[in-house]
Structure formats: C-alpha cells, structure tokens
A and B are shown apart, each in its own frame.
Chain A
Amino acid sequence: MNSSHFKKVILLLVSIGIIILVILGLRIGDIPTGFSDIYNAVFNYSENNLSELIIREIRLPRVCIAVISGAALSIAGMLMQTLFQNPLAGPYVLGINSGSSLTVALGLLSGVQFFNSELGLIGSALLGAFVFGLFILFTASFIRNQIGLLLFGVMLGSFVAAIITILEASSQAQSLKAFALWSMGSLNGVSIEQVPLISLVFILGCFGTLLIVKPLNVLVLGEDECRLMGYNLKSLRLAIVFITALFTGLITAFCGPIAFVGLAVPNLTRMLFKTQNHFLLLLANMLFGAFFILSCDLIIQALSDTILVPINALTSLVGAPFVIYILIRKLR
C-alpha cells in the first residue's frame, strides 16, 4: 500500500469512527433511544416525546459542539505551530484561551447585563483571543527559542489566572455565579438554538484557513522564503492570528477553556501523515480533532453515573503527558 492510499484509508477510517461516535453520543444515556427517535428528533420533531426531546435539546447540541470544538481547536493549533514554526505552540499553551477568559471575566464580573448575553459573551471572548494573539505574535519576534515561547505562554496563563482570582474575590454574588458557571467549561452549555451561529462562525474559519493553505505551505520554509515568494508576511501573520482567535474565542465562549487539544492533535497528525501539505493537514486536524473530543465526551458520559469529569480535565489528562513526550524528544 503506497503512502497516498494509506493517508486516504486513515482519513476514511476516522470519518467512519466519527459517524459511529456521533450515533453513540446520541443514543447512550439514562434514557435509551433508538434510531427512529434520532431521525424524528432531527426531521420530525415533537416535543411531547421524551426521547426526542432529550436528543434534540441535550444530546444533539452536545455532539455538535464536540465535533466543532475538536475540529476548531485542532486547526487553531496547526495554524499556531506553522506561524511560530514551533511544534510546542497551541492556542491553550500560548495563552490565547487566557485572553478570552480575561475579557469574559471582566465582562461578566462587571455586572453589565450585555456581557451576559450570547453576543456579549462571543464578542468579549473573540476580542480577548485576538488581543492576546497579537501580544504573543509581538513577543515571538524577540523570543526566538521554541521552549522559551512555551514558557512565556504558560506564564501569561498564570498571570491572567491570578487577575481573574482577584476579580472574583471582589465581585458580587450575582455576577460571580454567571462567571463560575461559564468557567467550569463543558459541552453541555450549548443549546440547539445556538448551534447554527456556532457552525456559521466555524465554517467561516475553515473557509479562511482554506484560503491561506498555499502561503502556509511556503511559510514552513521560513519568513525570508515566504517574502521572496511574494507574500506579504505581515498580512499573512495577521490572518493566521485572526483565524486562530476566531476558533479559540468561539469555543472558549461556549465551552470554557479546553486544554491541549490544539497542541496534541496537530502534532499527532503531522507525525501520522508525515507531510507539510496544509490542505491535507487541515482535513486531518478537522477529523482527528472531532474524533478526539467525541471520544472524550463518550468517556465522560459513560462515567457520568459515578463521577462528573469536566472536559478540560480529561483533555489535560491525555494532552499533558503527550506534551511531555514531545518535550523529552526535543530536549534529548
């Protein structure tokens, strides 16, 4: 089997895996449901049927956001890694999430009603992610060391966490509750009415990434080569940061922080596919990211009778050892 067939077979297998996980995610739970319930919930919905109600109002949005968050964060990670030419880069470790957390915290804890609305939440999360993305971009221009940049991102995260703790301590009970709920982070917070908006932003981000696939391929060769090929480096970098912020801000707004997906999945796909073709990487990250979060969600659902595992904790459990593995490989 030659390598291009191998890649296609893997992509096909993961796609099939996603479909199976989606079906499992819709069926498994306290109340067992059948295929006909799933069909009816989507195409022929009646809210008097309990099974259909549960699928449509609880499981369907959760499965949708699992697919989108996994895909979005993995693409964001791929973009960061190519931008900084650093396999240790990712939206979480570089503190892009922290930017969202900070602005959302400032908004919610200020007590102003607007920031508790859907639009206010997305707006503040996107703004925070974009500002912190620019900040990291600026910092990276003088921290050339790969591990140095990682450390900087981690420090940024700690710094923001400290500020948020102080904000929490000094805010009123009402706004604190809203923020505490948000910061728990879970795939359950999304309602079916929000899914179209989230999908739309996600598709916009994917489309944007598709448009810069070619310059991304050249950027791998370094900044000078990219400039010599006639690309405007400044606008390319801004485009990358913008798309990354869009993905990260979107997911952070609706699910809270989800760690390490954006770092682990792009590394895994690059190792598995052994390519720098960003068209293929985009596809692979989308599928593997979705598969990963869907699996995590299934584990969480399976354990939900005994313990409630937050999604962020589970991705960290898998992701952090993987980062350590990459670090050891790099440092040795």
Chain B
Amino acid sequence: MTLATLSTSLSARFRRIPLPILAVIAILITMVLLAALAPWIAPADPSRQDLFARLKPPGFVGRSGITYWFGTDDLGRDLLSRVLYGAGVSLGVALLSVIVSTLVGVSLGMIAGWFRGWVEVVIMRLVDIMMSIPAVLLAVLTVAVLGPGFLKLVLVLGLTRWPRYTRVAYGQTLQVANLPFIKASELAGAGAARILFHHVLPNIAGPVLVVATAEFGLMILTEAGLSFLGLGIQPPTPSWGSIMSVGREYVERAWWIVLFPGLSLFFLVFSVNLLGDWLRDQLDPRSRTR
C-alpha cells in the first residue's frame, strides 16, 4: 500500500462528512485565515499603546476615531488586533510543536517496532520514563532553564510530547511488520529505511493523525498555560495565554480582556477536539466494518 492508495481509501471513507464536522472545519479554516491575514485585517498595530485609553470597554471610540471592537487592555492596546495576532502565535506554536513531536515520536516508534531487540527496550523504556513525568512540569522546568522564546517554546513542547506518538507508532509497526506484503518486500531485498518509509508509514498514518489532532488541542492549551505563567511568548508579542494572564489582574474591572482570547481559545480547542474525535471514529480499525 502506498500513499496514493491510502489517500483514495481515506477519501472514500470521508465521502459523507456530517454537518457539524463541516461547521467545525469551517471554523478552523476561518481561524487559520484570520491568523494568517492578521497583518492586513487587524485594525491597529497590536503593540501600539495609548496610556490614556487604558481598560476601555468593547465598542469604545478612541481619540483618533478608531473603534476598539474588543476594547483595550491595560496599556491601551487594541484587544481585537492582539487577539488576531495572538491567533497566529497560538496556532503556530501548536502546529510546529506537533510536527516536531510527530517526527521524533513516529521515527522512534517505527525503529523500535521494526528492529526490536535492545533498541526496542531502550526506546520503549525511555518512553515509559517520559510518560511518568508530568509534561507541563517538564515544560515549565525546561523553559525556566533555557529561557523563553518562540522557537524554544516549540522545541520544549515538541520534545516533551513525543512519547505518546512513539507508543502508537510502535504498536502499529508491530502489527504491520507481520503482514505478508512487508515480508515480501523484505525478501525482495528492500532496505529497512525503504520499507519503513514506503510501506509501514502509510499504514500507521491514520492512528498517528488521530493522536496528532488530540495533541494539537493540548499544545494550544499548554502554550496558553505557559504564556499565562510568563514562561511562553514574551511581551509585547501577543499570545492568547499572555493576554489572559494580564487580564486576570483586571477581571473585576475589565472582563473583556480575558473573555475574547478565552472564547477564541475555547472555540479553537473545541473544534480541533471534535474533528479529532470524528477522525478517530473514521480510522479506528474496530469501526472499519461500518
């Protein structure tokens, strides 16, 4: 089975997409578009301050005639623009860290499942160790040592979350490795790299995708959490977590600062999780008979 056949089988399975999932996909596409187009559609520079327009409510019209649709934060910055720019940061960190952990996790999982022996023991015990350490705690410690920053955050999140992928990839590889066509290509003289990449990977991609969507939502939340603690994205760059972190101080006086990034975060994670659940149902071997 190659990537081409995988994609035809997937498209056959997904021919009937239920309406809620279509809606969720629409929300996600809109969010990605808004985040990508933020520099062009944001009404103001997200770090432009006006100390005399601090903590103004949504709909406030500023001195320059600009309307603050989401209100302003504690330094008089336009909250709508900050939420829009923050979307890019949140999505970017989550996407990149999922890619990093997928690459690391899946490679290690396939290697462990294919070569077995001591390689398997070393990798899988390492996975057990990593899984027993709370990931957020590990991330907090690593950031505290390395210092904050966008790329560091991506690496920290990516490199603390790979074991989950390794477990899935390992189990799937074990199953796939015994299938006749794999044995056939081995006998035909294909090398390990070729077999893993061309034959095993396409067969385990489905379950990995399911893990990745679940992790994606979690990464957005973790980034928000770390930024909330001041360990994530540094000011004045906005991220939803850091905006909410500031807003917490003012929740009594200026509820809008936490509300808008909070709602955005909720919709994004909710959509990703719904999509992930649906994907899992579609790809679960046990539901294949449907």
Say whether A associates with B.
Answer: no
Residues on B lying within 8 angstroms of A by beta carbon are none
Residues on A lying within 8 angstroms of B by beta carbon are none
